[in-house]
Chain A
Amino acid sequence: MTRENRRAALRGRGRGIGLAALAGVGLAGLGIVGLGLVRSDGPAPSPPVEEVPEAEAVVAPPPTAPAPVAAPPAPTIARPEAEALPEPEPPAPELLELEPKIAAALENVDPETRARWAREVARQQAAQVRFEQGLEASQVRARDVDARLRDALRRVELVPELLDGGLMTGLRIQSIEPGSPLAEAGLRAGDLLVRIGTERLDDPAMLPRVLADAGPEPSLCVERDGGELCRDVDLR
């Protein structure tokens, strides 16, 4: 299989899953997507027992509360129709399946922001799926990436600029360690890394293979101030 064929195959497979991930878009779906975290408690919990605050022994105990006394019935006051309070709005449908306190907090967030967050989370999940598929298909391991390139990239923090379906426009350089090889080559924070050699960085699924093929003298191309700038980096 040629590299282009592999790329096409990965794109096709990744897109299917990406779309599947997006099919249930909405906060409800996102809220219950597992992140590989499982909690399990050991012994079965005892029946609830009234807690004793940790530091309570140091202060005087609270006075004993008086025994409850039945309150007299409240007088009935007819509320004028005009002053009737509106029924509370039901929560937005997409919040219904979230943990109650998360849903409650999100109800205070404007729908536009909620939608933006949901879209971003969906993109990240789709991109993660694509990356993992690409890794599995390529069988690339960390040791397959040139050690000098890997060490140089470890001094740079990259954040993907994601599109729907988990594709991306490139990797934004969020920070670059002063004095590191890529900083010395002229790259800087804010640059958008878009190509390594001739390979466009537009698909997380392709990254393992692109990095493994890059070698110790990669040409890194970034978008900066509306233009593209390429730097040959000699890591030998």
Chain B
Amino acid sequence: MTTRTIGAALGMAGLLLLVAGAAQANETTVRWGPIELPAAGPNGPGQVENEIAGASGFGEWLVGLFQSTADYPVPKPCSDCYITGIRPNLVLEDGTTANFNNGTMLHHVVNVNYDRPDITCRPGFSGLINLLGLALGGNERFFAAGNERTINSMPSGYGYYVRSGDDWGLIYHLMNMSPEPKTVYFEYTFTWEPAGSGIQRTRPMWLDIDQCDDSEAEVPAGYSDITWDWNADRSGYMVDIGGHVHDYGISIAFRNESRGDNICTSVAGYAPGSPYVPVGPGAGTDATHPASWNTVSTDPLGIANYMGHISDMTQCDPFSRIRKGNTTRLHTQINRPDATDHDMGIMIGFLDEDYCITNFWCF
């Protein structure tokens, strides 16, 4: 784990000392792993599918009944602090980014806080994620990444609070298309500020077309607009939100139907000439779902590494109002050449709540 302060240029340091109480932004990089990926074989890629890390005790035993478990720890970048930015990555042992160019794929990873309940999948018996919350004591999904590795950056003054007692975990699916086994690690860089720095607390909201299960949905060939509704049980402002779809995905949008407000459309980006661009005439763009998949601009990993697969999802800082009782709707637009049973449509937003007394007793 490496930590460095990036609050200001060195030349400004003297000036900053004069500003009492000025917040310091810190940057910490953590590695989680190792994860051993089997070699690809005649039946397909080597995979570690829906493995869970960071669980312990009885919860680990229960989860192990239907998922594989990993025994490496998942340390946090900081405690009693506010995370203000997350840059996810998957790397090989030597630190090289693991991507399609070297035969690996970060199919997905979900970051979970086992000490807080997920507000859209309350611990209970309805689905796997609910049950996970009962078994482990908490199931708050606060971040996720696909191979496009979208960077989260909260608007200034907002953050996700990390308690000293929080236990973190991961749920992930990784693939190896190369003929030799590979060892990989998650490598995340967090930007954060300490408690007491006046950051406004936000609540992560997981929105998913397969909401409380394994996030994998059946999607037919051709154009689909798959929706999922959430009746808001709290009021607040959505300050930050981004999405994740698979190849052939056009976009994923979150709308407040009660207020007629398009909160965010997160659009998929593909390299020019990509064979995975949504197919068919008319990709479904309409007034409420503006879509344009040519969003690839600059990518630190290099577009070539994606080999035409989805490489970007746009993100929004909408500051949109949601009132308790509003009907909100997720729209996932896909135009596939074939059907599948494991497409995804996920958004994670961060809500600045008006006020909740507990996790669920909200105004």
Contacts and interface: CB of A to CB of B under 8 A. Distances in A.
Interface of A: 27, 30-33, 35-43, 45-46, 48-49, 51-56, 58-60, 62-63, 98-99, 101-102, 104-106, 108-109, 113, 117-118, 120-121, 124, 128, 131, 135, 140-142, 145, 150, 153-155, 157-160, 171, 174-175, 177-180, 189, 204, 207-208, 211
Contact of B226 (A42, A56, A101, A208): A42
A128 B44 contact: no
Nearest to B329: A40
Nearest to B58: A113
Contacts of B340: 51-52
Contact of B196 (A35, A49, A53, A179): A179
Contact of A102 (B127, B357, B360): B127
A38 B360 contact: no
Given A135-B363, A175-B163, A150 B355 contact: yes
B220 A35 contact: no
A39 B229 contact: yes
Contacts of B122: 35, 124
A51 B341 contact: yes
A121 B134 contact: yes
Contacts of A121: 123-125, 134
Given A117-B125, A142-B355, 20 more contacts: A35-B122, A37-B212, A39-B209, A40-B229, A46-B220, A48-B339, A54-B107, A58-B45, A59-B40, A60-B42, A62-B44, A105-B66, A120-B134, A121-B124, A121-B125, A153-B355, A177-B80, A177-B161, A177-B195, A189-B165
A155 B358 CA distance: 12
A230 B229 CA distance: 44
B177 interface: yes
A91 B355 CA distance: 43
Contacts of B165: 174-175, 189
B131 A102 contact: yes
A105 B131 contact: yes
B288 to A, nearest CB: 13
Contacts of B227: 39-42
B247 A208 contact: no
Interface stretch (B29-37, B181-189, B230-238): B230-238
Contacts of B355: 142, 145, 150, 153-154
Interface residues of B, number: 71
Given A51-B340, A62-B42, A175-B165, A45 B363 contact: no
A14 to B, nearest CB: 13
B292 interface: no
- Which 7 A-B residue pairs are closest in the complex by CB-CB distance? A46-B220, A179-B196, A142-B363, A49-B339, A142-B354, A58-B177, A42-B225
Contacts of A27: 125
A53 B44 contact: yes
Nearest to A44: B220
A49 B124 contact: no
A128 to B, nearest CB: 6
Contact of B62 (A108, A128, A175): A108
B80 A178 contact: yes
B333 to A, nearest CB: 9
A207 B196 contact: no
Contacts of B222: 43, 46
Contacts of A55: 44-45, 105, 175, 177
